[in-house]
Structure 1
Amino acid sequence: MDNSRGPHPTLRIKGSKSHSLLGKKIVLAVTGSIASIKTVELARELIRYGADVYAVMSPAAMEIIHPYTLHYATGHEVITKLMGKIEHVEFLGMEGSADLFLVAPCTANTLGKIACAIGDTAVTTFAITAFGSNIPILLVPSMHETMYNHPVLKEHVEKLRDLGVTIVGPRFEEGKAKFAEIKDIVLAVEHTLSEKSLAGKRVLITSGATAESIDPIRIITNRSSGKTGVELAKECFRQGADVTIIHNNVLDVIGINEIQVESAAEMTEACLKELEKGYDILISAAAITDYTCEPSSMKIPSRCEELSIILKPTAKLIDEVRSKFQDLFIVGFKAETNVTVEELIDRAKQKMKESRIEMIVANDVGKVGMGTDDNEVRIISSGRVKYAKGPKKVIAEAIVKELSRVLEKEAARGNARRGDGGTT
C-alpha cells in the first residue's frame, strides 16, 4: 500500500474515545457468519480506543462482505490468503508483532477447526500460530442456537476455555446464538490486554442514586446518574478484579456481577451482606439519599393544597461498613457545591479522617459531575492529591490507577515489615 500521502483516513479516529488500547496491535479474523457485517463497527470501535487493527478473512466471510469493506474499516490491506510474507508468522509467530488474535464472528465450523488444530484457511492457520506463540485468543461465537448446543461443539468450547481462550458471548435470542454486543467485546479485549493491576482482588462498588418511597408512585431521590460507578466497575474488571456492583440501574456487562436495590436501607443491607462473602475493596460511589420517610400505602391525592412529609436521616453506609469490617480498604466520595478547591480538599480530608477511609474522590457538583457525561475531581490519598478531568471513563481510569498505586505501596510496606522483598 502506498503510504506517500500519509495514513489512511480511517485512522483519524484513532484514540478518539480512549487510549486504553493505544500501542496494541489486534488481528481481527472474520469468518462466514452473517454477523460479519458487524465487524466494520467492531474494527472502528477498537481503533477509537487506540488499537491498530489488521483483518484476516476466511473464504466464506468473503462471500458475505468484500475485503475492501474491512480495508476501509481498519485502514490496512486485508489478508485473504497466505502469501510469501508468511503473514501468520509475521503477526502471530514467536516474535510476531500482534498482541491479540480476535475471531469475530466465529462460526461453528471455525470454532471446531481451531479446537482440533486444523489449519485449512488463513483464519485457522493464524489461530494455530497464535496458540503456538501463547498470544491471547478471543473468540466471539455466532450461529444458530441448535448448532451451538451440539454436544461436540460444547466440548470444543470447554476445551478452548481450558486452553486459556476467552469466549465472549454468545447472546441467546430468537433461537440464535448471536454475536455479542460490541461494548462487551471491546471490554473483553481491554481486560485481556490490561496491566491487571487489580488481579486477585475482589471489589464491591455501590453506584448511582437511591430512592425513598413517598407513596406507591412518588419517590425522593437525587440527580446522580450512576455513570461514574458503572465506569469504575468496568475499569476494575479491565484491571483483573472480581467485581460486583450494587445499584438501581441495569449494567448487563459480561463478567460483572450485579445486585439491584432501590432504597438507602436496601443498599446498606445488600452491601453489608455481600461484604460477608469476603472483599478486598469497597468503592462507595453511590449517592445515597440522606433522608427517608414513612411511605403511604396508597397514592396521596394529587390536589392537596399542602402536604407535609416527616423526613428522618438514613444510616451512613461507610460508617456501618467500617464498624463491621475494620481491615477493608474503602474508597469514598465527597460531593460539595460551589466551594473553592481548597475548601473541597479540606472537607474531603476531614471526611477521610472521620470515616477512617483510605482514599476519597472529591468534586464540586455545582459545576460539573452530577448526571453529566464529564467530571472534574480530586483524588485524595495519604499525602497526595491527584487532579483528573474528562469523560467519566477517563475519571474511572484515573481513580483505579491511583487505587492500584496505593495498594501496591501498602503491599510493599507489608512485605518490608515481614522481611519479604525488603528490609525490616
Structure 2
Amino acid sequence: MHSTHWIKGNNGKSLSGKTIVIGVTGSIAAVRIVELARELIRNGADVYAVMSEAATRILHPDALHYATGNPVVTDITGRVEHVSFCGLEGNADLLLIAPATANTIGKIAYGIDDTPVTTFATTAIGSNRPVLVVPAMHQSMYDHPAVTDNLDKLKKYNIGIVGPLIEEGVAKIASNDDIVLAVERTLGGDTLKGKRVLITSGATAETIDPIRILTNRASGKTGMELAREAYRKGADVTIVHRGFLGAEGINEVYVESVAEMLDACMDELRKGYDVFISAAAISDYTLESPSSSKIKSGDELNLKLRSTSKILAAVKSEYPDMLAVGFKAETGVTSEELIAIASFMLESYGLDLVVANDVAEKGMGTDDNSIFLVESNSTSCYSGSKRELATTIIGKIADLIK
C-alpha cells in the first residue's frame, strides 16, 4: 500500500472525490510542492503532477511520484495526457499551477504551448475547467508591467491567483494553507456564494492597567474554523477577534475589549451582511476605572467591575431580520438543562440557531468538542473535531439562509 493511503483524509474530507493536477514549473519554489501535494491528499484529494523540463532540473519527478502516489507527466505522449485530464471529458476537477514562473504566466496568457504545463493550461482553459495559478519569482520580475498585465489577463479568463507573499525582495509562493484553502473554495460548492458572513471569535480582554488584563480560556479555534468553512463555501468572510488567522481572502479585524468588538461589529454590519455568528467568549464584566499606569506589585488590589454590553442584543436590535447564530457555554448542567438555557437564549434574542456546549471537560482550548444545535423546532447533537463541527454549523446556516 502506497503511503498516500495512510494520510488521505487525515485533515478533513473537503476535497474527497476530487482529482487535482499540479502543474510544476521551473521556480526554486518547486521544492515546496512535495508537501503541498501531501496536504491536498490529507484533505481527501487524488493528486497528479505534470512538470515542465525546467522544473525537473529543480525537483526530480520521482519525488512527486512518491508524494502523489501517481506517475508524473513530463512529456505529452500518444496518451494525450492533457486531454485525458483537462479536456472536455477529462477527469481532473482542477488544474493548480504551483509554482508559476513569470515565463509560464506569460505563455498561458497568450496561449503558447511549449511545455507540458502550458499545454495542460490551454486545454483546461478551453474546456472551462477551474485553474488556479500560484506565482513565485523575484520581486523585480513580479513588478514588471508585462507580468502585471499577464496576471490581469489570466483573471479575465476566470483563473484564480493565489499569493504571492512579498518579502525579502522575493514574490514568494503562497503558504500551503492558503493554497489548500483556495483549492477548497474553488471546489467546495457555492452554498454561501454571494453571502457576507461576520464572525466574532475567541476571548475578549478587559484592561486592568497597561500590563494586566481580565480574560478567559477561549482559544478562538471554533471561530477560526467557522471562518475557514464559510470561506470554503463561497462566502465573503470577516472575523473580529484578538487572534490572528492569516488566511488569504478572509478579512480580519483585531479588537481586545468588548466595547471594541461591539464597535467593530457595528461598523462592519453597516457595510451589509447576511449572517452574524457570535462565537466569541465575550467578557461579562469590565473594570469601572482601569488604571492608566502599572499597579505596583504586592499592593492589595480591589477591582470594581461593571457589566459589559451584550453584543448579540445590540446586533439583533439594529438588524432584526439578519440571520444570527449565538453560542452558549455552561458548566455542570445536564443536557436537558443546557438545551433549555440555549432555547431561552434563542427566543430572548430572536436568533435562528444557538450552539450550546458544556465546557467543563472540553471545548475551551481543545481541538474537539461536543455540541447541541438548538433551533426553534429541533435540537441535534454532534461530536468531533472543531473543523468537523464548523462544517456542520456552516451547513446548517446554508440550509437556513436558502
TM-score, normalised to structure 2, is 0.98
Q: Percent identity?
A: 57
CA distance in 1 between counterparts of 2:5 and 2:99 reads 23
Is it true that 1:397 corresponds to 2:391 in the alignment? Answer: yes
Counterpart of 2:290 in structure 1 is 295
Decide which of 297, 306, 316 is 1:322's aligned counterpart: 316
Q: Does residue 141 of structure 2 align to residue 147 of structure 1?
A: yes
- Code of the residue aligned with 2:285 in structure 1: it is Y
Deviations 1:211-245 (A, max 9, x none): 00011111000001111111111111111111111
Structure 2: runs of 5+ lacking an equivalent: none
> Does the alignment pair 1:255 with 2:255?
no
Give the 4+ runs in structure 1 shifted more than 4 A.
none
**Which amino acid is the alignment partner of residue 257 of structure 1?**
N
User: Structure 2: which amino acid aligns with 1:296?
Assistant: S
Cα displacement (A) at 1:269 = 1.1
Choose from 256, 264, 271 the match for 2:265. 271
| Matched residue, 1:236 | 230
Other-structure match for 1:4: none
Q: Which amino acid aligns with 1:143?
A: M
Q: Is the 8 A contact 1:93 1:129 kept in 2?
A: yes
Q: 1:381, CA displacement in angstroms?
A: 2.1
Which residue, out of 160, 171, 181, partners 1:166?
160
* Aligned pairs for 1:20-99 within 5 A: 20-99=14-93
CA distance in 2 between counterparts of 1:77 and 1:384 reads 50
Q: State how far apart, in whole Å, the 2-side matches of 1:102 and 1:11 are.
A: 22
How far did 1:288 drift? 0.7
Whole-angstrom distance in 2 between the partners of 1:9 and 1:210:
43
Q: Report how far residue 405 of structure 1 moved.
A: 1.1
Q: Work out which of the residue numbers 120, 124, 131 in structure 2 matches 1:126.
A: 120
For residues 380 and 398 of structure 2, the distance between their equivalents in structure 1, rounded to whole angstroms, comes to: 14
Contact 1:338–1:367 at 8 Å: present in 2 too? no
SS at 1:323 equivalent = helix
> Are 2:213 and 1:219 aligned?
yes
Select which of 374, 385, 388 maps to 2:382. 388
RMSD: 0.9
Task: Kindly provide the amino acid, as one letter, of the partner of residue 186 in structure 1.
Answer: V
- Give the match's secondary structure for 2:252: strand
Task: Return the TM-score normalized by structure 1.
Answer: 0.93
Counterparts of 1:9 and 1:354, CA distance in 2: 53
Distance 2:209 2:223 in 1: 28
Offset of residue 141 of structure 1: 0.3
Output the CA distance in 2 between the equivalents of 1:101 and 1:380: 41
2:328 pairs, out of 326, 334, 353, with: 334
Counterpart Cα distance in 1 of 2:70 and 2:334:
50
State the alpha-carbon separation in 1 of the partners of residues 399 and 141 from structure 2.
46
Tell me which moved more, 287-296 or 389-398.
389-398
**What corresponds to 1:367 in structure 2?**
361
- Are 2:337 and 1:343 aligned? yes
Counterpart residue number, 1:407 = 401
Distance 1:196 1:382 in 2: 26
1:387, CA displacement in angstroms?
2.2
Matched, 1:11 2:5: yes
Give a deviation string over 1:22-56, Cα, whole Å, max 9, x none: 00000011110100000000000000000000000
Shift of 1:376: 1.2
Secondary structure of 1:282 counterpart: strand
Give the total of aligned pairs. Answer: 401
Which runs of structure 2 are paired with 1:301-320 in the superposition (5 Å)? Answer: 301-304=296-299, 306-320=300-314
| Residues 283-316 of structure 1: per-residue CA shift (max 9 Å, x gap) | 0001110000020111111112x32111110011
Please list every run of 5 or more consecutive structure 1 residues that lacks an aligned counterpart in the other structure: 1-6, 409-424
User: CA offsets, 1:355-389, max 9 Å, x none?
Assistant: 11111101111121111111111112232223222
CA contact (8 A) 2:190 2:234 kept: yes
- Cα distance in 1 for residues equivalent to 2:298 and 2:306: 25
